Amino acid sequence: MKPATAACSLALAFFSMAPAFSQSVAFTFDDGPQLKAMPRMNPQARNAALLAALEKHHVKAALFVTLGNGADRPEGLALAKAWGDAGHAIGNHTVTHLDLNGKTTTLKQYQDEILACEAVIRTLPGFKPWFRFTFLREGDTPEKRDGIKAFLKTRGMRNAYVSLDTSDWRLDSALAKVLNEHPDADLAPFRAVYLAHLRQRAEAYRNLSRRLFGRDVPQVMLLHHNLINALFLDHAIQLFKSMGWTIIDPETAYRDFVYSLDPQRPSPGQSLLISAARSLGYRPENWERLLDDGDEEIKELKRKGVLSAPAASD
Ligand SMILES: [Zn+2]
C-alpha cells in the first residue's frame, strides 16, 4: 500500500471510530451526608468542599443518602438539602446501610429501610426515585433478589447502577488512620495514589465497556461522601478532564440502554459491567485489578512508608 493510501485509510478508520469512542462519566456519591467526625475537616466543611469542587467545574452529580449517617437529624438534612439546592440529584441508599446479602437481613427489613429513607428525602429538592444498593449487593437468595426487583418496579424506582466502581472508601480509611495518629501528615502521597487509582479504574472500565458493547458506555462512577473526596475532588475532576472525558449528569448517563439491562449477578457487590461480563462468561485480562479493594494503592502507601507503623521511632 502506498503511504498516501495508508494514511487515508488510517484517517478513515479514525473518523469512523470517533463517534463510538467518546467517553463520558457521571459522578455519584454514596453514604452521605456523613456527620461522623474526621480529622482536618468537620462535616459542614467536607460537604461544602464537595459542593464547591462540583460547582467550580459546573458538574451536576448525585448524592445517595444513607439516612442514619446524618440526614435523620436537622444538621445532616441541611447538608443533603444543599446538594438538592445546588441542582444535584438526591437518591436513596437505605437508613443503616444494611446488607441485603446478610444472612439475617430479611427482604421486609430492607424494603422498610428504603421506605423510611424515601419518606425523608422525597421532601428535598432534586429528589429522584433512584435506589443504590448498599455494597452493590442485590440479595443472596432468589426470593430476596426477585422480591426487591419487584418492589422497586412497583414503586417506580430505578436501580441506580454503578459501572465505574472505585475503592475510594479504602483509601479514605487509610487517610483517616494516618491523620488520627499524625494530624499534620503530608497529604501528597494520598492524593497521588487516589488519582492513580481513579485513572486505573477509569481506563480499565472503559476497556471493559468497549469489549462488551463495542463502544464507550457513559460511565456512572461510585465515590463516597468522605474526607478524601472533600480534599481531592477538584483534582479528580481535573484528572478526568485531562484524560479527555466529558462529565455528564447521572440522569443523562442512565438514559443509555446499558442501564436498563438486568444481568445475572452470580457474584455480588460489583459494577454493572462486571456483572454483564460474568453473565457472558467473559473475563478481562486485568480482572483482579477491577475486583480488589485498592490493594495496589495501599501497598504503594506502605512502600512509601506512609502507612507503616514505625514502632521503633514512635
Ligand atoms: Zn454505601
- 222 C-alpha vs ligand 1 centroid, how far in Å? 9
- 12 C-alpha vs ligand 1 centroid, how far in Å? 45
- 309 C-alpha vs ligand 1 centroid, how far in Å? 29
What CATH code is carried by the domain that includes residue 287?
3.20.20.370
- 71 C-alpha vs ligand 1 centroid, how far in Å? 14
- 95 C-alpha vs ligand 1 centroid, how far in Å? 10
Using alpha carbons, select from 272, 242, 236 the residue that is nearest to residue 254.
272
- 299 C-alpha vs ligand 1 centroid, how far in Å? 24
Residue 84: what pLDDT? 98
Q: Is residue 248 part of a domain?
A: yes
Q: Is residue 77 part of a domain?
A: yes
> Measured between alpha carbons, how far is 166 from 168 in angstroms, rounded to an integer?
6
> Measured between alpha carbons, how far is 36 from 238 in angstroms, rounded to an integer?
28
pTM, full prediction: 0.91
Cβ count within 10 A of residue 129: 14
> Measured between alpha carbons, how far is 27 from 168 in angstroms, rounded to an integer?
13
Number of folded domains that form the chain: 1
Q: Is residue 9 part of a domain?
A: no
Total residue count of the chain as it appears in this document: 314
- 162 C-alpha vs ligand 1 centroid, how far in Å? 11
- 134 C-alpha vs ligand 1 centroid, how far in Å? 5
Q: Is residue 17 part of a domain?
A: no
Residue 21: what pLDDT? 60
Q: Dump pLDDT digits (tens) for 120-131.
A: 999 999 999 999
- 18 C-alpha vs ligand 1 centroid, how far in Å? 35
- 26 C-alpha vs ligand 1 centroid, how far in Å? 17
- 229 C-alpha vs ligand 1 centroid, how far in Å? 15
Residue 258: what pLDDT? 96
Q: Is residue 3 part of a domain?
A: no
Q: Is residue 116 part of a domain?
A: yes
For residues 108 and 114, the answer to whether their CB atoms sit within 8 Å is no
- 31 C-alpha vs ligand 1 centroid, how far in Å? 5
Grid cell, residue 167, equals 475503592
- 256 C-alpha vs ligand 1 centroid, how far in Å? 23
Structural domain containing residue 247: 23-303
- 2 C-alpha vs ligand 1 centroid, how far in Å? 57
Residue 266: what pLDDT? 63
Q: Is residue 2 part of a domain?
A: no
For residues 219 and 26, the answer to whether their CB atoms sit within 8 Å is yes
Q: Is residue 142 part of a domain?
A: yes
Give me the residues of the chain with pLDDT under 70, please: 1-21, 265-268, 309-314
- 172 C-alpha vs ligand 1 centroid, how far in Å? 14
- 87 C-alpha vs ligand 1 centroid, how far in Å? 22
Half-sphere exposure of residue 282: CA atoms within 13 angstroms, side-chain side: 15
- 69 C-alpha vs ligand 1 centroid, how far in Å? 11
Provide DSSP, the chain: --HHHHHHHHHHHHHHHGGG---EEEEEEEEES-----SSS-HHHHHHHHHHHHHHTT---EEEE-GGGTTTSHHHHHHHHHHHHTT-EEEE--SS---TTSTT--HHHHHHHHHHHHHHHTTSTTEEEEE--GGG---SSHHHHHHHHHHHHHTT-EE---SB---HHHHHHHHHHHHHH-TT--SHHHHHHHHHHHHHHHHHHHHHHHHHHSS-PPEEEEEESSHHHHHHHHHHHHHHHHTTPEE--HHHHHTSGGGG-----SS-S--HHHHHHHHHT---TTHHHHHSSSHHHHHHHHHTTSS---TTT-
Residue 313: what pLDDT? 36
